[in-house]
Chain A
Amino acid sequence: EIVLTQSPGTLSLSPGERATLSCRASQSVTTNYLAWYQQKPGQRPRLLIYGASSRATGIPDRFSGSGSGTDFTLTISRLEPEDFAVYYCQQYGRSLPWTFGQGTKVEIK
């Protein structure tokens, strides 16, 4: 099983600042099947990025994903008030067990 480790656990930033979230895998993620989600309290996870770097439908271009192999990054170029939430990375594949990172909380400084 691939273990995903996210860092930092909490990121305290102000609106307008840049956020950089890290996700490290215990082994190489097949074909970059790596996704990023945003989750707000009481809501289902919302897909932001799939395939490590492709933005999902309707996701603003201030969100970007990069990386390959075992090291992946989610960048939010300029934080908007609605971006303060918890972010999860996930590795997936058609028939593979999904695994998730433990989450990074982006909070208002």
Chain B
Amino acid sequence: EVQLVQSGAEVKKPGATVKISCKVSGYAFSDHYIHWVQQAPGKGLEWVGLVDPEDGERRYAEKFQGRVTMTADMSTQTAHMELSGLRYEDTAVYYCATRVDYWGQGTLVTVSS
């Protein structure tokens, strides 16, 4: 059974950095890109970026360029997304996903002073 299990909720102050994880099981980690998707409260889905676990290739949405870093650790079959310079508007649930059919449960990041 394919599973993507994400780390727990985070509360951070403005300007801080958050790093969330997505542990994959049930398929060969290198076979598929890991995508990250943001969903702000009451809003729609917005693509943040992707990482290729096989070679580390990354692509980021222009909106997040310069603040986001995505990595993939083959030894632990875990992908990470780090977002720096947090702003109030970064408050959202962040999902990892692979292919289109497997999504993590989401990680709520709250930015609050």
A103 to B57, CA, bound (A): 30
Check A44/B105 contact, CB under 8 A, given A35-B100, A99-B47, A100-B45: yes
Chain A interface residue count, Cβ-Cβ cutoff 8 angstroms: 20
Whether, in the assembled complex, B46 has its beta carbon less than 8 Å from a beta carbon of chain A, the answer is: yes
Instruction: Name the one of B59, B101, B103, B104 contacting A97, with C-beta atoms under 8 angstroms.
Output: B59
Check A45/B33 contact, CB under 8 A, given A50-B101, A95-B50, A97-B59: no
Query: What residues of chain B lie closer than 8 Å to A101, measured between beta carbons?
Result: 44
Whether, in the assembled complex, B95 has its beta carbon less than 8 Å from a beta carbon of chain A, the answer is: yes
A100 to B46, CA, bound (A): 7
Closest residue of chain B to A44 (Cβ to Cβ) is B103
Contact of B44 with A95 in the complex, beta carbons under 8 Å = no
* Dominant secondary structure of chain B at its interface with chain A: loop
Whether, in the assembled complex, A92 has its beta carbon less than 8 Å from a beta carbon of chain B, the answer is: yes
Contact of B104 with A98 in the complex, beta carbons under 8 Å = no
Check A98/B35 contact, CB under 8 A, given A45-B103, A47-B101: yes
Whether, in the assembled complex, A75 has its beta carbon less than 8 Å from a beta carbon of chain B, the answer is: no
Contact of B47 with A98 in the complex, beta carbons under 8 Å = yes
Chain B interface residue count, Cβ-Cβ cutoff 8 angstroms: 20
CB distance from A26 to the nearest CB of B (A): 15
Contact of B35 with A102 in the complex, beta carbons under 8 Å = no
Query: What residues of chain A lie closer than 8 Å to B45, measured between beta carbons?
Result: 37, 45, 88, 90, 100, 103
Whether, in the assembled complex, A94 has its beta carbon less than 8 Å from a beta carbon of chain B, the answer is: yes
Give residues in B with beta carbon < 8 Å to A. 33, 35, 37, 44-47, 49-50, 52, 57, 59, 61, 95, 100-101, 103-106
Q: List 20 A-B contacts (CB under 8 A).
A: A35-B100, A45-B45, A47-B100, A47-B101, A56-B101, A57-B101, A88-B44, A90-B100, A94-B33, A95-B50, A97-B47, A97-B49, A97-B50, A97-B59, A98-B35, A98-B37, A100-B37, A100-B44, A103-B44, A103-B45
